[in-house]
Structure 1
Amino acid sequence: MEIDCSTSDETAVETAAPAPLPVGTRLLHIGPHKTGTTSIQGALFAAKDAMAGHGIDFPAHSRHPMEAALAVCARSGMIGDTRPTEKHWLRLVELVGATGKRTSVVSSEFFADAPDDETIARIVDDLGRDRVHVLITLRPLAKIMPSQWQQYVQNGLRMGYEDWLTHMLRKAPYEKPNPSFWRRHRHDRLVERWVRVVGAENLTVVVVDDSDRGGLMRTFESLLGLPSGLLVPDPDTVNRSLTLAETEMLRKLNREFRGNGLPDELYSKLVRGGAVLHMKNTCRPAPEDARISTPAWALEAAAGIGAEMTERIGTMGVRVLGDPALLSAVPAAKSTGNAESAEPVPVRIDPEVAAQALYGALAAAAAVPARQAPARTVHQTPSRELVRVLGHRVLRRLKRT
């Protein structure tokens, strides 16, 4: 992938605990995705009352004000979900304003999807430009790519991992099938967009070290002036990634679902909000379960891009917490086991996992009342038409309930 690179001084790195931000700061954490956002959001929300006793407000009614961020960024969110409206954003702005002169923190990875400088300026102005400090958390692309791919599969993607990597890394303009990937994860450009609006002095970059499990929590505590140990991961909000088998099962379901023309709203309610959610909440991956692995060529490409991004961020004058060298490290490659790889490894779904996924879908539709059967019998109706009709009927019933 091509990028304009400039010769720069070394990035200034802070390894000691950072000093607290000034009292009254409105800390805006914009992610991006797959950089520990779910974990920190859950910890902040769980400690909401305790933080208030230390002068820190978390002005949101849920751990993640996703609808507000989607609305201000003019994003529709996940397929089949109701599009957020302006009132979601205005409500969050109202809650932030109600904190007065106290320090507050807002976190949503969807702020990273802001499409242009005008949108970023609106976000910052509405939250109080003279008080906003932007925080961007970064992880190596090699860690982000498999996690982001399976997340796209959870949103209906049908493309296999290696094929997806080829499109993202080798096929210009690197925007198909997911143009949002590089919007989020070309991190140098993400930092640059926000620096243009808020200034380098009002932006901090945190390089997440996966080997230090509590590191991100301690960084937030330091920046907010909270006692050490106040923020702890909330196990109920851990957004675990799918295993390779789980992802492949869902990817093949996506092919059948989309191939039969079923509505997106049905996918949202029964698949993502039913089958996948129940499966993730009830099934813990076993140590022997195959994980999604990235081939060596993609790891090397990701490390090269990481080095370019690190160099460019170093020219912007922003504060960097953590070790930027982590962004360009090349981890050891493992066999992918995907159907598209040269030497595919058989992938089998655990019957218990499949059963829980099926139950999740059924449970999501359990309250739907039965209705009169169609005029034609099942045997008189083509299967493709039957599936489409059934899907639309279930969707209508779900809406009524």
Structure 2
Amino acid sequence: MRPVVYLHVGAAKSGTTFLQNVLWHNRERLRSHGVLYPGDDDAAHVRAAFDLRETFFRGASDPLVPGAWPDLVSRARAWPGTTLISQELFAPALRPHVARALDDLGFADVHVIFTVRDMARQIPAHWQEDIKNRFTTSFADFTAALRRPDRNTVKVARLFWGLQDPIDVLGRWAENLPPENVHLVTLPRPSAPRDLLWKRFCRVVGVPPESCDLAAPFANPSLGLPETQILRRLNASLDEATVDWHFYNDEIKHHLAQDVLGRRTGSPRIQLPAEDHAWAAEQAAETIHRLREAGYDIVGDLEELRPSPPGDDAGRHPDDPDWAGIADAADDTIGALLRRIADSEAELAGLPAGIGTRKADQIELLHADAKLLRERIDRLCEDTVPLVKRAARTLSERHPMAARLRETYWRLQSGPRDSVPAAEETNTR
């Protein structure tokens, strides 16, 4: 029998991180069932997607990306059973890249998997994920771009539909595959059992659901409303010439956004405004109709793609600042970054002479940039909550890098639903 390769190509924010962490932490158990989840680390599939698509984040590079896709292909070729490759950044691949992927995998029976959920949940989730990737687009501008007839001419809309639209994505990835080799897995409603998505995924790849441990993997929760609002304004204050992609990725996206703000509880979630629900429902109806006509293998229920009617708890518009929540989130933000500075300074102090110069130079650049920012912050501190005021004023005297965070407070005074130009990025993760 020919070997089988399953390509799980998206969609982003549809349970992909959960599934990928289950697969990574259970790769030895999967091998015992004849399934290979290849790669030497959990970022191998990310690099392979970038390599296949010949792209990366603008202004940045990764020396491990070139050759990452052929590496996975060679491992799949050497494996006698089933190989599973999973990464949502495969979704935007252009037709020439898809053709290359299918040609490289010509030794196997190729199947494509796409996990998808309803737009009423997906739009807010994708918007906050863009904010985590340095975008500054307001929610109103974001949804307006999605609804434009020429949506592919607007970057944020082009990225969204290229990652999220099952008709568009499968139109490229499934064009030369038999319909039975294309599997669309719908995301269960929020009230469904936690393991239902995993069971549906296992049904596609032929793995007993109970063979893997679901306890170890971590979730990838969306940011709450105030956390997203403060991060968006922080993005607007960061100069790309000073804060490059690698620094932003490590310190802002992963440390601040995911490790600090992403772990806060009790914040109101971002919801699709009621005025956008009718349009989202129309999009869902058209998508459901076209997916049924396509004849793909549907695992789940296409009706789960139809947004639930908006309830009475719609909450505030995502662009209307939640001032109390923002102040509370900012307190955690300042504290976390100051602890990060203290840890870095302690690390530098413990290094032998002559080592760590690059980090020291970066800190000096931040100090110089913070001088002007700190002058602006003093006015804001008089209007904020007492605890934040005292902490910001005292700690910034010792750690000038905190001034950059206090600049965020100042920008919060700009008023509700402010619109700022979108940052330039080549992709989202």
Q: Find the counterpart in structure 2 of residue 169 from structure 1.
A: 147
Higher alpha-carbon deviation: 189-198 or 37-46? 189-198
Distance 2:185 2:363 in 1: 58
Q: 1:340 to 1:289 in 2, by over 3 A?
A: closer
Q: Which of the residues 372, 378, 387 maps onto 1:383?
A: 372
Q: Find the counterpart in structure 2 of residue 250 from structure 1.
A: 231
Q: How many pairs are equivalent? A: 356
Q: Find the counterpart in structure 1 of residue 68 from structure 2.
A: 88
Distance 2:318 2:201 in 1: 41
Letter in structure 2 aligned against 1:85: V
Superimposed CA distance per residue, residues 262-321 of structure 1 (whole angstroms, 9 cap, x where no aligned partner):
4333322332243234315xx6332x3111121012222122111111111111121111
Alignment of 1:2-401 (within 5 A): 24-64=3-43, 65-77=45-57, 80=60, 82=62, 85-99=65-79, 101-116=80-95, 118-128=96-106, 130-170=108-148, 172-173=150-151, 175-178=153-156, 179-210=158-189, 211-258=192-239, 262-279=243-260, 284-286=263-265, 288-333=266-311, 334-338=313-317, 340-341=319-320, 345-346=322-323, 347-348=325-326, 349-350=328-329, 351-360=331-340, 363=343, 367=348, 368-369=356-357, 370=360, 383=372
Q: 1:234 to 1:157 in 2, by over 3 A?
A: farther
* Structure 1 position 166, deviation (Å): 2.0
TM-score, normalised to structure 1, is 0.78
Letter in structure 2 aligned against 1:128: G
Letter in structure 1 aligned against 2:46: M
Letter in structure 2 aligned against 1:229: E
**Native 8 Å contact 2:226 2:322 kept in 1:** no
* Structure 1 position 253, deviation (Å): 0.8
Q: 1:57 to 1:212 in 2, by over 3 A?
A: same
**Native 8 Å contact 1:35 1:138 kept in 2:** yes
Q: Find the counterpart in structure 2 of residue 397 from structure 1.
A: none
TM-score, normalised to structure 2, is 0.74
**Native 8 Å contact 2:5 2:84 kept in 1:** yes
| Structure 2 spans left out of the alignment, 5+ residues | 349-355, 374-399, 402-429
* Structure 1 position 362, deviation (Å): 6.2
Higher alpha-carbon deviation: 73-82 or 85-94? 73-82
**Native 8 Å contact 1:76 1:84 kept in 2:** no
Q: 1:51 to 1:338 in 2, by over 3 A?
A: same
Distance 1:241 1:360 in 2: 23
Q: Find the counterpart in structure 2 of residue 398 from structure 1.
A: none
SS of equivalent to 1:91 = helix
**Native 8 Å contact 1:244 1:290 kept in 2:** yes
**Native 8 Å contact 1:81 1:268 kept in 2:** no
Superimposed CA distance per residue, residues 222-272 of structure 1 (whole angstroms, 9 cap, x where no aligned partner):
333333322343555321211111111111110100387643333223322
**Native 8 Å contact 1:270 1:364 kept in 2:** no
Distance 1:108 1:293 in 2: 26
Q: 1:36 to 1:225 in 2, by over 3 A?
A: same
**Native 8 Å contact 1:274 1:363 kept in 2:** no
Q: 1:79 to 1:307 in 2, by over 3 A?
A: farther
Q: 1:39 to 1:83 in 2, by over 3 A?
A: same
* Structure 1 position 137, deviation (Å): 0.9
**Native 8 Å contact 2:119 2:307 kept in 1:** no
* Structure 1 position 127, deviation (Å): 2.4
Letter in structure 2 aligned against 1:63: D
Distance 1:271 1:159 in 2: 17
Distance 1:170 1:47 in 2: 43
Please state which structure has a larger fraction of its residues in helix. 2
Higher alpha-carbon deviation: 167-176 or 301-310? 167-176
**Native 8 Å contact 2:36 2:84 kept in 1:** yes
* Structure 1 position 154, deviation (Å): 0.8
Distance 1:299 1:77 in 2: 32
Letter in structure 2 aligned against 1:263: D
| Structure 1 spans left out of the alignment, 5+ residues | 1-21, 385-389, 392-401
SS of equivalent to 1:113 = coil
Letter in structure 1 aligned against 2:271: S
Distance 2:227 2:363 in 1: 34
Letter in structure 2 aligned against 1:247: T
Distance 1:372 1:150 in 2: 28
* Structure 1 position 326, deviation (Å): 1.4
Identity of aligned residues (%): 24
